[in-house]
Amino acid sequence: MSLLIRCFAALLLTVSLPLAAAP
């Protein structure tokens, strides 16, 4: 269960990073 949440958090961060960097 914890692994799934960690994977989801990593995916969200990877998607949020470029989105926030782009104006």
pTM of the predicted model, to two decimals?
Answer: 0.54
The reported pLDDT for the residue numbered 1 is 77
The reported pLDDT for the residue numbered 22 is 77
The reported pLDDT for the residue numbered 14 is 95
The reported pLDDT for the residue numbered 21 is 83
The reported pLDDT for the residue numbered 12 is 96
> Could you report the per-residue pLDDT of 1-23, keeping only the tens digit for each?
799 999 999 999 999 988 888 77
The reported pLDDT for the residue numbered 11 is 96
Q: Please tell me whether residue 23 adopts helix, strand or coil conformation.
A: coil
C-alpha separations of 10 from 5, 18 in Å: 9, 13
